[in-house]
Structures are given as structure tokens and as C-alpha cells.
Chains A and B, each alone.
Chain A
Amino acid sequence: MRSIITTPAASASRNSIGNELIWDQDWLVGCFCPSQSGPLWRIYFPPRNAYNMVLHKYGEKLYSGLVTTMTWHLKEIAKSIEAAQGGLFLEELNRKWGDHNKALQMIRDILMYMDRTFVPSNHKTSVHELGLNLWRDNIIHTHKIQTRLLDTLLDLIHRERKGEVINRGLMRNITKMLMDLGSSVYQEDFERPFLEVSASFYSGESQQFIECCDCGDYLKKAERRLNEEMERVSHYLDAKSEAKITSVVEKEMIANHMQRLVHMENSGLVNMLVDDKYEDLSRMYNLFRRVPEGLSTIRDVMTSHLRETGKQLVIDPDRLRDPVDFVQRLLDMKDKHDKIINVAFNNDKTFQNALNSSFEYFINLNNRSPEFISLYVDDKLRKGLKGVTEEDVEVVLDKVMMLFRYLQEKDVFEKYYKQHLAKRLLSGKTVSDDAERSMIVKLKTECGYQFTSKLEGMFTDMRTSQDTMQGFYASQYSEMGDGPTLAVQVLTTGSWPTQPSAPCNLPAEILSVCEKFRAYYLGTHTGRRLTWQTNMGTADIKATFGKGLKHELNVSTYQMCVLMLFNSADCLSYKEIEQATEIPASDLKRCLQSLACVKGKNVLRKEPMSKDIAEDDAFFFNDKFTSKFIKVKIGTVVAQKESEPEKHETRQRVEEDRKPQIEAAIVRIMKSRRVLDHNSIVTEVTTQLQSRFLPNPVVIKKRIESLIEREFLERDKADRKLYRYLA
């Protein structure tokens, strides 16, 4: 095909070829022919020709000629691609695409002038884009190629998912081609159907997995699938497809099966928690966090599991028998779940909060928790921390403090702590003074000075007492002679949890030393009053049994009083002992029981033999007492879990102590607010006091009534729900 173009004579006079320009479509064909390159096509159609044509207003002709030629050519190519057999189809397409690109490059170079001037001024599509559009319309969007291409691509991906190896390079070239043809071509002709097919693939696969896998395996499979898809995108898909395909996998494999997964029998979340399956838990966390509600699903199941097991633990009557074990189990449970959250749950704050709130919930279900926590500390400070380094002590105490923080009734803990500390200090049983003080400091930091001032007072008393005893013996050195050695601890009233008790009758030799001490002490501290707390003391006495066997008996003061009676008598009735010592009956019975009824410690003999002490029993000095130890410890005063009546009594004391605190809070609030309604008072009082305990609204109400009666407050005459402060 040839066309002869005659140009006006005035222009292009310097054209070396002459005034005639030849438009030869063959050069274009040449461009598309891969065997020709570079120098050859210049012969057919030097760029100058194109330049001249545009210059002489034949641009339109040149452009339409290009479109016609290229379209014609591409139709030919389409035929050859269609003809490609089976697997060669993609390769053929890919090769033709490569050729087309190269040709397009050449054409653009040749027609550069047209591209720069004619195209923009006539709002035509640029040569390169035109080439792509024509490729799209004549190759990709032809009926035969379009479906075949899509089916081939999807089939290859499916085969890869099934484990076959496919030519990823080819895949990459083809998808690249689709992207080059415009993002809408990629999306419409490939991505959308790809996502649809993937969704149905994963929906089917997840259904199959969930029926036959346990939770851990399922998650492993889901994780692998997810990684595969991401890898696929990085190898041969558009990067923008990653979010889309992963969300398909997430939805089909995770979100749709979340509830079933966490609750899966024998392998669900609870089992993982119980068995410390850090890897599985971590996998679950990382997968679930990808879907909405995922983490809250885990958290909710974990919370209800924690609450349930915690509740079982704290209300189990078996656990209540051993307070130390009880607390240790709580600590172990906390450690275990702390570790899980740390290792598997990315130290997620919301999970930590869930753990804390669960502990707070169930620890307070048992109103003995404060007592038991204090007993645990007592056990540790009494013996448990022997030979443990200072740092380890701190760790244990810090853990206890953490439990302490969960307590609602901190004042109850304080009460017990005071009792237990007193017993430790007075019996000299505390292992480490540093540890004791460290604990006090921690309590102080947590609850303020008020909380610990009395506890600190106890330490001061202990120190002062030591000095006092030294002073006493220094002054009495000459006249002490062979008498018993006395160790007195002078306790400040109010700082110590002393129960008022009538003193018993001490043996004469003890009494004389006591009197000497009283005289010495009051001599230096005038105006004070000393009361002997005989119920709290201990004594070491030396005893000689039959065949001259000597033992040192470590007993309580009460027991000492009883035993001393047997210096002058071999047999005493219960009544006689009671009269001579004046020990309160319940204490006396307990003390006689420990002296006469415990095997290996029975320095007394009882008639009739029985486990319990009766009013008409008779007691004998047990001449036949033997023990393999020189020192025999009888009936030690170890802090123990309180009995029911004692517990009740402590409870009442706590309630009594709360009354003034609640009243003080009400008065403080009313003083600043002057007028306030009932419910606001209750709320504010609760807020003010909750660092120490959770006041009962009924108790608050009773305190308000009492304050009205005592004319600190009055009810508003008009609105009976309002209270006024009466200054």
C-alpha cells in the first residue's frame, strides 16, 4: 500500500530527499517484526519523514494510519496467541507482549515529533498509550483470550495452592502486563475474580480443617495459608492486592470460625491456657488480632476462665485448711498468667487489665483472703526466707503486695498483719529484720503513713526494750545472784494488738524479779503504768526427770506457772491448779492439754487418760518422761488461722474501727459541701475510703443517722433527701 503525498513547494525546501514524502506502512510491520532492529527500519521510514508529514499538516493522516496498521497487526497476533496449545498459551502471550513493547518503543521514537506536537494539540492518545489500548482491546479483551487468560491464571494459582510448582516468572510477567494496561484492567480482569475464587476456596478448606483438626493445628494451617498468600503477592501480584487477599483469608479462616476455635473441646483456648501452650496462644493472638472482635473474644474467654478457676480456688474448703498453700496457689496462678500474657499475648495492656480485674473479683469472694495473705507473709518471715538472698525476699514481698492491692478490705489485712507481726516480734521468731522493715516500707508506700505508724511503733518498742533490759541488768548486777533471768518487752498501749487479760499468779521467784523490774522501770519512767501480759510470755525451764534425766523445756508463761506448782506437789487436781494460778479456764485447759496429752511432750500425766481436760481430772508429774532432745518445745504459739469465733470477733473489731472512719469521711465531705443529697454522700464516702475498704452503704446510712442524732447533720425540711451540715 502506497500513498503519495504532495507537499506545498514553499516549505520543506531543504529536504534532502525532495518534495515527495512516502508513507509506507511496511515500516510499521517492520517494527513489529522481532528479527529486525535498529538500522534496518530507518531505511524504511526515517524519522525525518514523520517530521515532515506533521509539519505539512498530514498529522491526522499519519496518526490514523498508525491506528489502522497497528490494529491490523494486533489482530494477526491475536490469532497466533489463540492458536497456542494448552500451556504454551501464556508463554506465547508473554512473548508477543514483549515484542509489542519493543515495537511500541521504536514507533514512539520514530513518531516522537508527532507525539510531541500533533497528539497534544489534537487531544489524541499518545503513541505509547495508544499501543497499550490497542493491545488491550484487540488481544486481552477479545472473547477467546479474555476467559482463557483468566481461567489459566486462576488454575495456576489453584495448582500452586495445592502444592504444585508453577512458573512464577511467567505469572509475574502476565500480571505485570495487566497492571501496565491500567489498574482497572488488573482489577477487573484478574483481581476481583481471583478474590472471589480465593474466598470460596478458603471457605471450603477451613470447613474441612475445622472438622478434622484441633485448634492448635487449625491455627497453624491458617497461619501458613496467610503467609503463603502474602508470599504470592510479593512474588507475582500487585502489592495492593496483599491487604485484599489477606482479609479474605482472615475472614474465611479466622473470623468465621472464631467462636468455634476458642471453645473447641479439649484443645480450645482454655486448654491452651491450662497447658501453657505459649506457641499456640501466641499464634492465636497474632491471628485473631487481625480480625475485628478477635482480641476481645480471646480476652473474654480468658477472663471467664480466670474468674471460674479463681473462684473454685478461693471457695474450695480444702484450700482453706492451709492458708500458706492457699496464697501460694494464688501467686502461682498469677505468675502463670503473667507469663502467658508476656510471652504469648505481646504484653497486651488490655489483657493485663483483664487479669487484674479477675483477681480482684475472686480474691474478694473469700472474706478470709486478707487474713491468709498476712499468714503467708508471716510464714515467709518466720521461716520461709531462711537462706534466701535479699533480692529473692524482695520478689516474694512484692508479689504479696500485688495480692494486697487486689484486696478491698485492706483494713482487715492491717488488723491481721498487726497481730501476726506482734507474735513474730514477741516470740523473737522473725528471720530477718531487714525483710520485716522492707515489708513495712512497702505497706507505707501503698497506704500511707497512717497505715503503718502503729506497726513502726512496735519495732521501736522492741528496740527500747532491749536497751531497758541491758540497763536493768547493769543496775541489778550485784543482787541478781542465782535467780531466774527475766526478759521484759515493754509495749506501748495502742500500738500492739493486746487483749486485756487478767494476769495469772506468777511463781514467787518470778514475781520477785518482776517486782524488781517494775521498780527499776518506774524509777526511770515516772507516771507510767505497767501491766503484765502473762498470756503472751514464754519461759525456758530446766527439769530433772526420773533417773536424773535433764531436759530444758521451752514453754509458755502459763505452762511455766503450772509446772512450777509441781515443785512442791506430785499430784494436783484441775481445781487446785486453777485456784493456784488463776489462769482463765479456756487457756488453762489448752495449756494442760499441751502438757499432758501430746505424745512426746507429756511432762505431766493425767488421770483419767483422755484427750480432753475435764474439771475433775488429776495431774501428776510424769517421772517417766523421755525425749531424745535435750530441749523440748511444748505448745508453741504459732500464728494460726483463726477459729470461727475469733474470726467473728476480729470482724466485729474491724467493723467497729470502720465506724469512726466513715463518720469522719461524712463530716469532712459535709463540711466542705454544706448541703448534699444522700446518694452523693454515699458515693463520695465510698471513693474516699476505698483505698482502705469498701464501706457498706447501709453502714454509711446508719452513720448518717447517728450524725443526725448527734446534731452534726440535719435533714432539709423541704427535701428530705438532702442533708445539711450543722456547724
Chain B
Amino acid sequence: MGSSMPQWLDIFEIYARYCSERPDSSSDLDVVSRNDYATSKELLAVLSKSLEYSGQRREAIFNDIYKLMSCLDLSVDSRNFNRFYDFVFFFCRESGQKNIAVHRAITAWRLVLNGRFRLLNQWCNFVQEYQRHNISEDTWQQVLAFSRCVNEDLEGYDPKGAWPVLIDDFVEHMYSLVYMMFFSRCRISRSKNCSTEDYIFGCAD
């Protein structure tokens, strides 16, 4: 990075640079040596710093992200989306911080996971209500993995699956909600055919 930083980087440039500097993808991680990994971390740190200089547009980041998203072709390759998703975290981070604030994370999720995560609404509501601490990078990344491996009845969730505690709590919360709903419905309708599956998340949205 030269010292003569451009005054204003638009999100496309930042994204391009992010993609080139990021220690990329699962496939060649073994090839990338620790050194390279460290350098790329540093480069990203520099890039992150440069974001501060263009900080006047922080309020508009979500517009930028939306712009970027609509221009990228994210439908075909999940790796592309991965990279984009990670980038959003990177982009949303306040300078010098490792995590992002809850409200910002929720806005970002609603934006980028729209149509990709069947429990998006429930998830965001849950995080809004119960999470006090900032969202860590690991949690951020695991939410994407989680969104991919569960469907709306939470099938595919493995309690021993090393999910972050926030996700475990979310699942537990959903279960308790569903059972509550299930039993109250059963009482009202006195239906014999009531089964929990019928009500799983059918009425939550």
C-alpha cells in the first residue's frame, strides 16, 4: 500500500482487493504456508485501516453492500457467496474491532441472507432479543454454515455439532417455542391428528 491513499475507495475496489488479499478458500489452505497466511492477515489489516479513511460513508455501508451484491453473480458457486459473506463481516467491522455490533449484524444478515436462510426472520428476532455481546467472526461464519445445513424444522441440527453457543441457544429457543405452540394448539383444537411436525415453524413467520 502506498502512502498516497486514494481519498475514497468504492466498495467494488475494496472487494476486489479483499478477494486478492484474502487467504482464499478451503482447497489450497494446506498449500498456503503460515507465512503467507500471516502476511495476508496483515494486508487485510491494512485494508481495514484504509476503510477508516473513507469512513465518511459508514452509515451508507448497507447501501454499498446491496449495490455490490446486486452486481455480483452469487447464485452459481457457493464459494463466491462464502467470500462475499465473509467480506460483509469484514466490511461491517468498526475500525480496530474484531467483532461487529448486534444491530449491525442483524441488518447485514437480513440483507445478505435474504432468501438463503429459511429461519432468517426467527434468527434475527432471537439475536435481537437475547444477544447482548457483539457478534464474533466465528459466530458470523457459522451462521452461514448453519443456514445451509438446517431447514425450517431444524432437521439437520446436531447438538454435538460444535455450533457456537448462540446457535445452540437459538435452537433450544425454537424448540421451546414450538412445543409451547403445539400444546396450546392441541388444547384448543382437540385434534387427534396433531403432531409437532405440523406446527414446526409453520406459524412463526
B3 smallest CB distance to A (angstroms):
28
Cβ–Cβ contact B161 & A721, under 8 A: yes
The answer to whether B160 and A715 have CB atoms under 8 Å apart is no
Interface residues on A, range: 10 to 19
* Residue A460 is within 8 A (CB to CB) of chain B in the complex: no
Binary B-proximity of A670-699 (CB < 8 A = 1, otherwise 0):
000000011100000000000000000010
B188 to chain A minimum Cβ distance, whole angstroms, is 35
Bound state CA distance, A718 and B29, in angstroms? 9
Contact residues in A for B137 (Cβ distance below 8 Å): 709
Residue from B145, B162, B165 whose CB has the most chain A CB atoms within 10 Å? B162
B164 & A717 in contact (Cβ 8 Å cutoff): no
Interface presence of B25 (CB below 8 A): yes
Binding site of B, secondary structure by majority: helix, strand, loop or mixed? loop
Contact B138 A717 (CB under 8 A): no
In the complex formed, the residue of B with least CB distance to A699 is B165
Whether A702 lies near B162 (C-beta < 8 A) is no
Residues of B within 8 Å of A677, CB to CB, are 162
Range for the number of chain B residues in contact with chain A: 10 to 19
Choose among B25, B98, B138 the residue with the greatest number of A CB atoms under 10 Å from its CB.
Answer: B138
Assuming the contacts A708-B136, A709-B136, A717-B25, asked whether A698 and B165 have C-beta atoms less than 8 A apart, the reply is: yes
- Asked if B161 and A705 make an inter-chain contact with CB atoms under 8 angstroms apart, the answer reads no
The A contact surface, by secondary structure, is helix
Q: A75 in the interface, Cβ–Cβ < 8 Å?
A: no
Residues of B within 8 A of A679 (CB): 160, 162
Cβ-closest chain A residue relative to B159: A697
Q: In the bound complex, what is the Cα–Cα distance between A679 and B161 (angstroms)?
A: 8
Q: State the CA gap A644–B138 with chains docked (Å).
A: 37
B26 within 8 A of A: yes
**A701–B167 alpha-carbon span in the complex (Å):** 12
Assess A708 versus B138: contact at CB under 8 Å? Given A717-B29, A720-B145: yes
Minimum Cβ distance to chain A for residue B119 (Å): 18
Check if B165 sits within 8 Å of A701, measured CB to CB: yes
List of A residues within 8 angstroms of B145 by Cβ: 720
- A133-150 vs B, Cβ < 8 Å mask (1 yes, 0 no): 000000000000000000
Contacts of B138 in A (CB 8 A): 705, 708-709, 715
In the complex, what residues of A have CB within 8 A of residue B147's CB? none
Chain A residues whose C-beta falls within 8 Å of the C-beta of B164 in the assembled complex: 701, 705
Contact status B168-A698, CB under 8 Å = yes
* B165 and A702 within 8 A (CB): yes
List B residues 8-36 near A (Cβ within 8 Å).
25-26, 29
Q: Show 18 A/B contacts (Cβ-Cβ < 8 Å), sorted by A.
A: A677-B162, A678-B160, A678-B162, A679-B162, A698-B165, A701-B165, A702-B165, A705-B138, A705-B165, A708-B138, A709-B136, A709-B137, A709-B138, A715-B138, A717-B25, A717-B26, A718-B26, A720-B142
Across the A-B interface, the 6 shortest Cβ-Cβ residue pairs: A678-B162, A717-B26, A718-B26, A721-B162, A708-B138, A709-B136
Which residues from chain B sit less than 8 Å from chain A, CB to CB? 25-26, 29, 98-99, 136-139, 141-142, 145, 160-162, 164-165, 168
Residues of A within 8 A of B (CB): 677-679, 698, 701-702, 705, 708-709, 715, 717-718, 720-721
- A705-B165, A709-B136, A709-B138 known, 8 other contacts, Cβ within 8 Å: A678-B162, A679-B160, A679-B162, A698-B165, A705-B164, A709-B137, A717-B29, A721-B161
